[in-house]
Amino acid sequence: MGMVGLGSMGSNMVRRLLRGGHHCVVFDRSSTAVEELAKEKAEGSSSLQDLVKRLEKPRAVWLMVPAAAVDATIADLLPHLEAGDIVIDGGNSYYVDDIRRSKKLSEKQIHYVDVGTSGGVWGLERGYCMMIGGEENVVKHVDPIFSTLAPGTSSRWSTTASSTGSWPPTRRG
């Protein structure tokens, strides 16, 4: 999986994923942030294009950027993505923006998953709470990521609809 945005939460999410055995390719405008995570076994990248090239298909790219930067980041990513790839917005975007982004990306057969994420700097040890919305089959495909990030050892929810088409969640376990 690729992580774009290595602030406090993004970098700690990568650390939690690495501890869980995931391969993470990382990018941030700060090369120092990329270098720090590369020392911890993440794979650093020098640009969004480089990040996308380093991922296996279908690629999943998680954005942990400020809500105001999501559209610009997606616009910069889009030329490098292909049908079947997945964009995950881990910020707390306004749901109307998520609906618009999902429709725009679906025209190019790129999947969009909105994941409101909370946990702050404590998420590394305690896990992250996530509100996941997206196509059920796509959410299931990336569920190992969600399961690793979630508190405890496994994801307890699956989605059947939300702002991007999967609400209400249904309890698992």
2-171 CATH pick, 3.90.180.10, 1.10.1740.10, 3.30.750.24, 3.40.50.720: 3.40.50.720
**50 pLDDT higher than 90:** yes
Give start and end residues of each alpha helix (H) in 20-141.
31-38, 48-54, 70-77, 95-106, 123-126, 136-141
Q: What is the pLDDT of residue 153?
A: 55
- Per residue in 3-16, pLDDT (tens digit) is 999 999 999 999 99
Q: Are 2 and 61 in contact (CB under 8 A)?
A: yes
Minimal CA–CA distance to 87: which of 116, 62, 108, 115? 62
- Whether the pTM exceeds 0.75: the reply is yes
Q: Which stretch of DSSP H or E encloses residue 149?
A: helix 143-149
Higher per-residue pLDDT: 156 or 93: 93
